[in-house]
Amino acid sequence: MFNEHKYFQNPNNKAEAFWQLISFYDWQKPAECSLTSSCMVVNALMASRTREENFTTDDLLAKSSLKQEWKSDITEPCLGVSFDNLEKYLKDLFKQLNLDVSVEAVRMTKNAETDLEKFHNHLKRMNNEKDYYVVANYVQTDFFKWEPDEYGHFSSLGAFDEANQKVLILDVYRYTSEPHWVNTLELVKSMSTPDNSIKGKGPFPPRGYLVIKKRQC
């Protein structure tokens, strides 16, 4: 905790994404990590609205023209939302909300050195630019002493500690998790695991992360 405070007290660490997202940091319902993480980003992008106008996850789902497909993906028992599907759902959602926002899906290539360099470049921009967000799709149990599994999990990233090669995950599974720092290479490895949320038989492509940002006028 001391180290976290020290990071945020350093004026060189702008942590733009953290300060924009933290007011909307929320608990996910079972299997709704994709929806809760998306809701945080949408509310941050529309932060000029009043608190009463903030979206809940139910509000957000109702706005989607793909709500039945998204709802099916998060209704237990389920495999959850795949990396490709969340990209599709978010692009549709921003269109429905009339927001000029781009969604870039960055899939891991399994070339760790290349993937890490590209990831760091996005994290630097996330730290220093307004309305620039990164949502990671990774295996949550890679970072906890829980029984291992291979299921994917979505959470927004809040800050990048470049000096120590760590990134702050704003984990929406708040029943047992709070914001925590992880090594960026370890997160890249976790995002490189097969996306078994895809329906059908494998082999499945690796996961990755979504870069969400307002387009330049």
Q: What angle do CA 160, 184, 57 make, to 5 degrees?
A: 70
Asked whether the whole model's pTM tops 0.95, one would answer no
Per-residue pLDDT of the chain (217 residues; tens, 9 = 90+): 445 678 999 999 999 999 999 999 999 988 899 999 999 999 999 987 777 778 999 999 999 999 999 999 998 777 789 999 999 999 999 999 999 999 999 999 989 999 999 999 999 999 999 999 999 999 988 887 665 567 899 999 999 999 999 999 999 988 777 899 999 999 999 999 999 898 877 789 999 999 999 987 4
DSSP state of 23: G
Ordered by where they begin, the domains of the chain are: 2-214 (3.90.70.30)
Burial class of 36 by CB neighbour count within 10 A (0 to 12, 13 to 18, 19+): buried
